[in-house]
Structures are given as structure tokens and as C-alpha cells.
Structure 1
Amino acid sequence: MARAAVRPVSPAAGVPGGPDGSGSGKRGGADKILTKASKRRRRTNILTAAAAVLVILLGAGVVGGTYFFDSVDFEEPTAEAQTTQLLASDNKTVLASLGQFNRSIVPDGSINPLIKLAVVSAEDKGFYKHNGIDMKGIARAAWNNFTGGEVQGASTITQQYAKYATKRKEITYNVKLREAVIARKMEDVYSKDQILGRYLNSVYFGRGAYGVEAAVKAYFGTNRSALTPVGTKGAITAGEAAILAAVIKQPEPTATHKGYDPQNNPTDALDRWRYTVGNMAELALPSGMAEAGVPAGISPPTAYPKTWIRWDADKCSTTCGNNKPSAKIVKYVKRELRDMDISDAELNQGGLQIRTTINPEVQSLAEKAANGKSKKSPLNDMDSTYKSALVAINPTNGRVLAYYGGPDAASWDYAGPNYKDDGKTFVGGGRPPGSTFKIYTLLAALSDGYGMDTIWNSELKKVNGGGKISNSGREGGSLKCPTPRACTLEVSVEQSYNFTFYWLADKLGPEKVIEMAHKAGIQLIGDPETTARYDLNKLSEDELKSKGYGREVGFGQYAVTALDHANGVATIANDGMYIKAHFVRSVSQRDPKTGKFVAVKNTGEKIKPQRAFSADVAAAAQNVMQKIPGINGISLDGGRKAIGKTGTWEFTGKGGKDGDNGDAWMVGGTREIVASVWIGREKQNKKTNQMDLLPIYKYGTKPMNGGSTPGKIWKMFLDSASDAIKAENKPFLPNTTAFVDPNKKGNGEEPPPPPVVTPPQNNPICQIFPQQCQNNGNGGNGNGGNNGNGGNNGGNGTPGITLPAVPGGDNGNDINGGGGGQTDGNVDTPN
């Protein structure tokens, strides 16, 4: 905000003569060279100026004129636009700022009185004596304007605020006189302290700071405040107050002057500071000043304070944090505020302080784990086409602790829904969850009475003349089942076999699986045929059924978001109690009297647990899901108990090959923190300007699966985040079968009973060395010695020992024993 200050008189223009001419730019010799016409014009200007001054001083025609005075309306100035800050759960860390102006309105009566004194000293020494109008200043400005100087106005604080309040930028005589009338009327409506407070809350101090509170933080640090009482720790001192007051005259550089910010112009800043301090001493220091609330006994400063901080001109002022990954939560905050009856207009007006659920330390750990630019991230050595998402939730209260959907705020959000600029029109979000979605099919089956020991057939083809059920190449003898037609539900979960979940979706109906997913926390799900997403809160049962979801829903064909998926896993970890994931903990605004932030009525989090499925069902699901991190080699450190599920979805775009994956997931967590992790890949097509999906690999051309890179990110994050929040190693529920309906059967065949193996008694070697005849294998019987070791050295059995021929005995002639393990002996990683 520019103040009305008298600028230096410009040199005379149009004067004849050159460098040696006696009248070159000097008013003293002008009479000798002025023509008669120019003399007449000058006399006219002088008389006009004198008349104007006389009119103003006498109050006959303008300021004092009744008609003009009454014709100028005074209206209550509109509320100042402020900044709304989104803070982390620590109520200190700024995650994002909303609003056009970096301003925070503070109560008039609570502003440090030394700041008030300094501003009065710098801008208007007679503030507490005049009635809003400086008649001498008006006369001086009028004389200057009519005698060839630039158009000027007067300089009282009340008039400066009147100019600001009327939103007038031009400087004309009529405008300046109207401002004077408004200033006079303001003095009848507001007290001096109110006018000064309003001025301090509106004036621009440079460095992007509007108002005194923002200015204090911009010049002296975010831990300082204009509201800290004089004499207490952190309070603005008289010298610091003078720095703030000194910059108001011209906060930023122009073409003709560098301004009074000490960083830009230390010499002039010091001169202006000395002027301000001198006036402070004259007005109130050390005697005190009751009008300004300045206590007695404060000595005038003698040295320019060194406490001011340097300012980065490229640093944010109104959008601090807005380009960080955490700023992607703004859209969720806005939606939650609307539900609290805080409109977008109220939010844009600013002045709110919103405490979010984001834990700043956990957020940082999420970014380190999931951001490929982080040196410690498992994605660090992969190219920029790889995209990732990570969302972490506290299952006991639904608070989102960390949210990573991409490296900055402006890019596509891979963790949640994306909207147009209006914030309401959905444009996309979510990816096929693959086998991680089996947890909801499992919950639906258990809730319907199916037990973990129900048996399922891998050889049945799809219904309605369909083909083979894809099972990632694992079939026949490679299945970890007694026979291909006898796989239990428990083993199917552990090994992530697709066929079991296809047939469960067939028996239950796809809608029942989706309904269970919705109860657990899934809000959006992809359309079976298009890229559309459906809000499950708005679909009736009949509408859902009409969409035509197939049985493939049982193993994750249809897109969901990482946020929803984390919420679903949180419900399992919370023993079947659903609590909606949310981002807002509290909403506050300044009390106009005390200046302290107080809660806005009817706002804040409302935690309402709802039973999604029984605790017995949750216990059974927890029991089998606790095995999965270990199976995939990503158990948490220190034996910390955790549930989990891996998943992938095949790549179907151009350029891929058979067996490639396009999406890889790992979801799960502990009693205190759960996380969903997704990895995909895309690249912008220069011809179409669209994003082309690409296959994902872990090393070279080996397809990435959920237990590999996503699993490493998941483990890295949960290990560090659990330590950060000092999480206890809480156990999950003990397993139970109380929910099982014995009439619920699978479609498999009962496996044949295992053969009874009796050690041979007619071999003398067995009588001398009985341990040589024991069955030590894990994968079946060798041809003779019963010492098979699980198949091609992949299991843990004791290798068979070829015994010497003994009359009447059988020779063990197969040291590898029965099949069943992997040929390379590695840990099997399900999809």
C-alpha cells in the first residue's frame, strides 16, 4: 500500500539555456527568462493554489462544506482477506497456505504498543492530537501540486487507511478530498486505537507481508508475533518496532529508490530508522505514552538491531508448502470443511487455522520411502516413468498420518481422486488393485460362513463357457496343495491363487464382494467397461448390480485408490470397526478480543466407529494375513506383528510381453499404523499428449510383483514410522472358527489321505542305525529311502542317502525325493 508522502519538487521543465545558461534548471533565475505569457500562467496557478488552500482551510466549499461532507458516504470497510494455514498434527508445521494475501488479522488492543508507537512516530507524529485530517499537510500538498510538483495527498494515518479502505488507487484532487472527508468521519466512528489497529492490519510492509503480524514473521522469524506482550520472551523490542515502521514509507525497490528494507538498502534504512527512533524518544520514550499503551521506563535504542532476517524473494509468502507432496491433501480438507458448513467463500476469505491429521515426521518418512528422487527409496535407481503412491492411516481413529501421491502438488495425484480446477468435477484416479483386493473377497466369504479349510478346484474353467482362470502360471503340480483340485482357502490366501477367489465371487455374487469392500473403506471403484469411477456411497444395490461387474472382482480387476485401500486395511487391523479416513482434526480462528485461536463451533473431527464385520471374521483374516509378509521376505524389524497382502495386475497395453505387470501393490500394517503402497509406470506420448501406460520391472526385464519393490517400500516405511511414533508391538486377535458354517463348502475335492509309512524292519542297517530309515523329507517319498527333500533341493528335508545293497532290503535310489518346491530353492513370492 503506497502512502501519501510528499515527494521532492521536480526541476523546472522547458527552461531555455544549456549547460552554461544561468537559468538551467534553477528556479532562482527563472524570472529573467520567463515570457509574459508564462508569467501570467504562473500567477494564475499561484492564485488558484491560494484559493484552494483558503477553501480547504476555511472549510467553505469542500471539506467543511455541508453539502459535500454529507454527500460522501462512509461505509464499514470490508473484511481483510487473510491467509488460511493448514498445519500438521503438531500444530506448528505449515503444510500449505490458502489465500491471495499473506495476512493474519490480530486484535487492535493486543498489538505490541511499541509497534504502535513506532508507526505513529514514522508516519504521523500528531496522530493522537488531530481529528483525522492534517490541514497543514493538505495545504503543503496543494501548494506543491499547483506550483508544478507532482500530485500529492495528505499524510495522516487515518487518511492513509481511508485511502486503503475505499480501494482507490488514482490520485486526484476530488479523490483526495473525499478521502479526507471519510477520514474525518472515521474519527467519529472508531477510537484512535481501532483506527491504528485497522491500519496496522492492512498496510503492506514488503516481503509479501500484509499486516503487522505477517510483517513480524517476515522480518524476525515465524516464531515471533506482534501479540507478544512487552517485556516477555520473544516480544518485539523498540528497535525492532522501528525497523517495521521505517519500511512502510517504501517497502520495496522502485526505479528511483531502493526502498527501506535493510536487506535492499541498508544506508537509507538506517537513516529512516534513526528518524523513527528519534520521534519515538520525543513522543514517549522513556516517559511512556498512555494513548499508545507504552509503559514508562523503556530506553530508546541506540544501535540498529541485528535480529532481522534475510528474505528470499523467490520464497513463498501466501502459498508456503503448496508445492510439496503434502499439499495434495488440500482437496480433502476443502471437502471436509464443506461438510462442517464452512463454504469455499469463507475459506478463501481466510483467517482460519486448520490442524490436520498429518504427522510431519511420518510424512517425511513416507516421502523418503516412496519418492524415487529420495536416495534411500527402493525406487531411486529406476527412471522417472515409475510412479508411486503411499498412504498411511492410524486404524484406531482413522487419521491419515501421511499422504504421498506424487513429488509435488501440481502433478497428477496417484494416491487419490483427481478433480478439475473447480474441485468438484472428477477426472480420474485409482488403479486395479489385483490380488490385494482379495482381502475383501475373503471378508465377504468369512462373513458368509466359509471357513479357511474349505477346498477349491484349480482346474475348473470360468462360467458361461469361459476359459481358463489366470493364475500367473502356477498350476498343476506347482501348486502348494495336495492336488490341483484340493486347495484350501487358507493356502489360497497365502499363495494368492486367483481361482479360489473367482469361485468365491461366483458363489457370493460380485455385488457382495463390492459391498464388503465398501463397508471396509472403499469409496470409489472403477467401471467394468470404461475409465469412469463410481462413488459407492451414491449407488443403490440395484444400480450396482446393473453395472455388470464380473467375477474377476474377486481378485482385483477394478480400480480403487490407495487412500481407500489403506482405509480398508485399517478396518481389518481395527478388528472390523470402520472409521472413515480423514484429514482435519480441528478448525480455529482468532478471538477478536484476545487474539488467541479458538475452535470454530461445530467443527473438528467426529470419530464414529461402525461395525463392518464381526471380530471373529477379523481375527481369522488377521491370522492368515500375518503370514504374508514373512512369505514375501518383508517381515518387519524386531518381530513386529503385521498383516499384509501383495498384489499385481497384468499389463495389457502396447509394447508389453506375456507375463508383464502394469500395477504392483503392497497393503497392510500393524495395530497402530497401516499403509497402502502402489507402483505403476507411464510416459507422456509426444504425438497425442496423453499418458501411455508401460510395464513395470524390478530388475532388467523381470516383471515387478507386489512383494518386491512395493514390499520393500512398505517395509522401509513401516519400520521407520513405527519407531517414529513409538508404536508398541501389539498382538492381533487370536484365531477363531466361531463364524464357520459347516454347510458352506467349496467346489474342490477332498485330498486323498496321506500314505502311512512304516519303516522297514527286515533291514539290519535299520536296526543298527534307525535314523537312516526315518522319513526326513518334506516334499514326498524318494524311491527307496523315504528321504525326499521337497523337490530339487528347494525344501528343507535331509538329502536322501543311498544305502549299500543289503540282502532282502530296498535301496534308496532317488536323492531328490518328491516334487513340490521351487527348482532354485528361493522363497516363493506370490502375486
Structure 2
Amino acid sequence: MGRADARKARQRGSRRAQTERTGIRRFFTWKKVLGTFVGLCLLGMAGFVALYMLTEIPAGNAAAKVQSNVYKYSDGEVFARTGQDGAYDRENVSLDKIPEKVQKTFVAAENMSFYEDEGIDFKGTARGVLNTLTGKGKQGGSTITQQYVKNYYLTPEQTVSRKLKELVISLKVDNKYDKNTILLGYINTSYYGRGAAGIQAAAQAYYRKDAEKLTVEEGAYLAALLQAPSSYDVLNATPTNKKLVMDRWNYVLDNMVKMGELKQADRAGMKFPMPEPVRADPGLKGQTGYLVQAAEQQLKVREKVDEKQLAAGGWQITLNIDKKRQQALEKAVQRQLESKLDRKGNKVDSTVQAGATSVDPRTGNVVALYGGADFLTHQVSNATRTDYQPASTFKPFIFAAALENNSETQDGEPITANTVYSGKSKRPVEGSEIPFAPENEDNESYGDITVQTAMAKSVNSVFAQMIVDVGPKLTKEVALRAGMRERGDFGEVPAMSLGTMRASTMDMAGAYGSLAAHGKKIIPSIIKEAEHKDLAKIRPEALKDAGGLQRETADTVTSVLQNVMKEGSGVNADSGEYNAAGKTGTSENNRAAWFAGYTPRLATAVALFGQDPKTGRQVSLTGTASAGRANGGGFPARIWRDYTLGALSSKEKAAQFDLEVRAGADFRTPPPPPPTTPPPATETPTQEATTPPPVTDTPEPPKYTPPPTRTPPGDGGNGNGGGNANGGEGGGDNGGTPPDPDPGTDPDPGTGQPGGANQGGDTVGKPGGNVNGGDGQWPPQP
């Protein structure tokens, strides 16, 4: 044997040895893999043919399943029924009653190949089946025929078997009926939102006209709505959804041009047809509509209930709303706000919108909600809307982030409640690539102050520096862990320290509830239980043991926020009858004013929003009730106090915070001696050095020695008091005269007016005892 033959023999032996070692080629050859694939394809085709032969077009069921939804308080008492004569309005119209161009808008929106296809989109359906199997929900494309089949012949459940039935029935429907019949069926059975199924009901709901009078622009909007009916209702949509529906409306009209149904010149001149306001069901008056709306929103967004299935009815929905607390909240808003407004005669008063959400921190249940004066006249819920900034109510989460991450100042000092920062107004932050120098309220400088004092006085310059020390990104992460929600761009910049993100009162009630729950993350739930005979019972989870904050972090923040209510901007929320912690907030240009706070048993966020009733544009609240600046320590704090007093039982009022705080964070313990840096000349110390009182376990907090007071400015705003026990709010822009030394004895609120103030903080003096209360002092001077 030659050398070449020997080498070949060795190579053959090596290959045989390798094959014997692995054995993989004995089982997986390209011929076997290809054969298996072809076999599976043939088997799948055979199965599909068999399914096609055995499946018949079922009878239409869209109208047969329409019934009421029933809504109950937490104790089972029914407070609302929707759709008593059918869960949604529906009236079929013939094709000749729908303008031809309007018909084509639906084709342009959903299925440009509708007139040429066989009724199905294999690629889109395969994508839908894959998304269903992988748990990604109802993504994937469908033809108009498939959507009509789903609407009229099947249920909206997302299962593989339902998707295969849809495919088979769509083929049969396309084979049996002409395209015009299918298109008409689709237009007549689709759900458009506002309780309207079918184009005739939609035309009336959105444009107060019959379908035959719709314009192309209006038809394009109705066609665009079908992708997300409630979310795309432009009058009630979030800013993000408004942009999305506008983009989709333009998409529909651009496709009309591509289809040859519109001339480009005509398309260029078209303007968006703004729909008419919602005509609410009279049975949803007052707060009822807001409660129903919040429940449906949670079912659709969080619990993934199909919108049309919810509209079709058959649900028994029990809310966590406590009837007693709900009534207490409504009365508090009426007494502390609405009774003081002149909505018809005062231009500013007509713009005021109030919202509130109250949560039980032990469970995460939403126990009370205030969405506005009346759902019949204002369908955007002020409790759940997310288009306003929470302002300084965000500051506690900056401090929480510092504690959670063991952050240090620029000088390397640990950040605690007694850490000293410069309170100078417009002080540029150090250590940031992004320049930022925020102004304090009234442009007031405080010199060197502790974090605890800065929280009480809501000093912007301190928290701007703190968020740089901690890091905006880390601060955002902690805020989200505490229960805040990322609504669009949260903003990871120093200016985030002013609370420039968007949030709802439900978001803030949940986040503050997490602090009350010692750091356990709360995702507020208004739904206690939702039942439907064809679906599994829904019981949402609201309180999570994981994913929140460390207990010591939450409890330390609570201790600092208790001080805010004792001698800071939240004094108007403190009644002395309960233990509480909280924070005020006033947004840029005074467009929103907040108070968010909690007792051991109740976490509540109250807000006022300025909104032009005609345009919906955000406007300033300054001048509300013929007063000055409407800050968080005013109307929101007083509403919060009134509600909390009425909502808590005697036992609940006596509940104590069981706190595990870091050293020096207990607000009852005096801070260390002041720094050596001399205070500004504008501040006159009035307090003599005393021996620090011991910390006791008594439920009643000890009396406080008055803190240093500012020399009162000259002429200016009025306190909101006037010879009564509750006194009033401190002055603003122009200051005010010193308070009367007699705090008064009248238990009712006074009628004096607060002065204005600049954006950037919420420092409010404790009530004076005179209508000229000005900045005020606390305690009242003897």
C-alpha cells in the first residue's frame, strides 16, 4: 500500500471513530431533518384541511351577549349599573347610508389589500399565534375579514384554538360573502368607544350626526379609533395618546391617497375634526362616573380585559371603595373648596379642578376617590389624570434615594436628616455636568440648614444639590421602587428635584402609602374582585413585599415628614388628633397645588389643577377664591385634614407610627448645634439655647420651642385666618404684617386671604390669629 492509500485509510478510520464517539450523525442528518420538516408541514396541512371541513360558520353572537355591568362598594352595596338597556348603543345601517369615501377610510386604516386578499393574512396570523404562545398578548396583524369574524362570530379571548377558528371561518366567510357585505359587517359591529358599537352609534356619540352625513375627515378619525377606542378618544386622551391618534389619523388619509381615493391637493387641506364632548349616562352623575371609569381603566390596562368584552357587559365588579370614606372625601372637598369658589362669577375659580385618591397602606386598596365636581360635566378624572407635575411632593423620594444608597455629599459626608446643606437661593449645584441653580420660594435664602429643616421649608436649592449627590438615575429608580409610575419621560436631570415628571393623585397616594407601609411597594387597586361567567375571577394584588424600600429608609423619611406637618409647610394638614406625615407641592407657574400625606392607617394625595374649561389648556391657580397663590399648604392641606378627620375612627386616630429610623432622624430629637457659619443678616435668632428634652414614648408630642423667625416683610398678602383657632395661611410675594398675638377661639376657618408667592417651594407660616396674619408664627406668641 502506498503512502497516499495509507493516509486515506487513516482519515477514514478517524472519521469512523469520531462518528462512533458522538453518534450524532446517526440521528441527525440533513436528509432526516428535511424529511421531518416536510412531514410536519404535511401533517399540519392535513390537520388544517380537516379543521376547515369540520368547522361551520357559526351564528352571529354580537347582539346576543349584550347585558349590564354591575358595580358595588366594598361591602357589596350596588351603586351603579351600566348598559341597563344594552351595554352599548348599536344600530345597523346599510352600505348606501355610509358615504363611499368614508367606507374606504376603514380599508385604508386596517387592510389596504382587502379587495384583493382571500380574507386572511397568514403572516399576521402566524405572528399573532406566536405572540399568544409566548405571552405577548394580542399583537399581530389581521385582515378586515378576520376582525369582522372575531367581532361577530367569536369571542375576543386570546388562545391558539380561537385564532385557528378565526382563520378557518375567515376563509369560509370570504368565500361565501362579497367584499361589500364583509366590510359593512365589520363597520357595523366594531366597537368605537363611548359605549358605541357600529358606525351609526359612533357618528352620534362623536359628531352628533347620522353616519350618512360623515365627512372623510370624520370617517378617518372613527377608523383610527378602532385600534384603541378609549385611549384614542382625543378629548380625554393623555398627551402621548393624543399624538398617537393624530398620527394614525394622518396615516389613514395618506393611505387614502396611495389607494387613489383622495387627491393629494384635497388631502393637504384637511384638518382634524375635533369630536363633540362625551354625553355621559345620567346614572353616572357626581362621583359615580369617576369610580366606574377608574375601575374600567384598571381592568383594561392592568388586568388585560378586552375593551369590547368589558363593554359587552355581564360583569359583577366589586370595588375597594369604602362608602363612609368616600362620603367623607366628597364632603371635605365641598366644605374646604367648592363652598369658597364662585365658578360662574370668577374667571380663576372656573378653572379649578380638584382630585384626590386615598389608599389603605396595609392593603394597597383604594378606599376613596374624588375625580371632579361632576362626571356629567367633566369626564377627565382629576384623580387618575397624569398630565400635571407633582412638584415638591417628589422631594421625600430624593431623600429616600440618598438613604437607600448610603449617598454622600460633595464633601464626603453621609446624607442623613441632620446633614447640613446650603439653603442659598439660586445656588448653582456642584458636581453636575448640567448647570442648575433653582430659585427658592420668594427667592429666600436660608444659609446653612439641615435636611430636616429643608424638607419642612421645601428648600429647592438643598434638594437640587442632593439629587446631584445621589444621582438622578438612582433617584428615579428608588422613586419607581416606592410606587411612582414612569409616565412618559421621567427626566434624569437635576431639575427632576422640582418634581417635573407627570403623576396622578393615585400614583402619589400609592407612593406615600409605601412609606406608611414601611417600604413595601404599593400599586393601588380600586378593584376588589371582578367576575364574569365566561372568565376566571379577577382579584388584583396591590401590596408587594418585594421591590420596595428598606424599612429603615421608609421610616426615616416618615420621621422627617412628621416634622413638615408640625412646623413646616404642612401645618394646615395637622389637626393634633392623629399622627401623620406629609409634604406639600406647588408646580411651575402655580398650575398645580398638592398635599400628599399619611397616617398609619390612611395615605391620601389631594391636588388642585388649573385647567381652562374651554381649551383644556393648563393655567395658573393664582387668585383661586379671590386669594393669592394657591399652594399645597392651603386648600389641598385643609381638604386632607378635613377628610382624614372624618375617615378615621377614634382607634385609627390613636394609631402610632412604629418607626425604625437612622440616628438623628427622629423629629422629636433636636438637631445638633448649628454650624459655625454665621447665619445671614436677614434672619434674627429668637430662641435661647436650652437643654434638649428627652425622647419619650408618650403618644403626645412634646411642646416645641419656636424656631428662628424671619423679620416680617412689609405690606402685602393676608393670612387666611381671622380671630379663630384654625387661623390661616402665611403671606406670599409681598409678605404681610405680623400676626395678632391672640390666636382666637372660634373653631371655624376664617375668611382672610393668602398672599401670592413665587414658584419653587411651599413654606407657609402656621396660622396667625388675625385676618392680617401674614407669615404668621407658631406657636402663637403669648
Q: TM-score, normalised by structure 1?
A: 0.46
Q: Which has the higher helix share?
A: 2
Question: Which has the greater radius of gyration?
Answer: 1
Q: TM-score, normalised by structure 2?
A: 0.49
